[in-house]
Every structure is written in structure tokens, then in C-alpha cells.
Amino acid sequence: MPDSQPFYSSDPGDLGTDQNVGLLIRQLHTLIHQVINLKTCPLGLTSHQWRPLLLIRHKGIDTPAGLARSLCIDAGAVTRALDRLEAKGFVQRERDSDDRRVVKIVLTEAGLAATSQILPIIADTLNLYLQGFSDDEFRMLVSLLRRMIANGEHHLQNYAKEQ
């Protein structure tokens, strides 16, 4: 990764402005999730609930521990989300036939029906936020975000090694 000059200093004027990339990304993430939540509300789902459903269906992540890792949340939060999803009839918990200590999460018919409606909602919402972008601008945005993620992962790994 090539080095570049720092874009920010510890000056509060630098970090509190509309040029703060971290704040802008957070604001964008929040706005996107607010729209998706409004659109998934008629399905009886919040972002804390539709995200696990998608991971179960499309990524095959079917254990509470796997969901916690993928969602970057603690086991208690996963348990609460699964409790709500189970109460709404979207998932069932089943013991693994090979290892009774392991709980598997299975989508019900209602869960399968809901997940088939969620991806179009997400696609439509993202397309709303990308209105007016050219193909080149879209590819550049994705490339820049991936570079930031790679930089962050690299520095996180180095920091973890130092600890």
C-alpha cells in the first residue's frame, strides 16, 4: 500500500467537518438502513432481524455463534434477535443431529418468503442512493471503499499483533 500524506490532524476542526470520511460513511450507512427498515417494516422485520435471515439463507450461516461473528455483535444480541424471529415465526432452533450441543437455525416458510422480498428492497434502496452516478463513478466508489477496508484490515491486523 503506497503511503500518502495524512488528510486529517487531531484538530477538532478537521474531524468535525463535512469532510470527515468516517462520519460521512456512518451517516450514509444510517440513512440507507433507515430506508430499508421503513420498507421491511410491513414484513414485520427490523435491520436487527432481516440481516440474520439473509445470512442464514444466502450465506449458510446457521448457528448463533456464526451469526454473532458475521454480524459483529455479541452472543446475547444474537439470542435476542433469534428469540424475536422465532416468536414471529421466521426461524426455528433445532439441535444438530451430529452434535446435540450445537443449535442450528432453520428458516420457516415465513422466513423463506420474507427473505425473497428483502433482497429486492435492498437493491432498490441502494439504487436510489446511486441515482445520477455513471458506471465509472460507481466502480470508482466501490474501488475506493474496498481500498479503505483493505487499509483498515491491514492496520487492524498489525495493531492486534503488537498487543
Predicted TM-score (pTM) of the model is 0.80
Which residues of the chain are modeled with pLDDT < 70? 1-3
Domain boundaries, the chain: 17-131, 134-163
Cell of 152: 483498515
Residue 2: the pLDDT is: 60
Element (H, E) at 81: helix 75-87
> Sign of dihedral through CA atoms 72, 75, 77, 83?
positive
Cα 46 to its chain centre, rounded Å, is 13
Architecture of the domain delimited by 17-131: Orthogonal Bundle (1.10)
Residue-wise pLDDT tens digits, 37-64: 999 999 999 888 999 999 999 999 999 9
Q: What is the DSSP letter of 63?
A: S
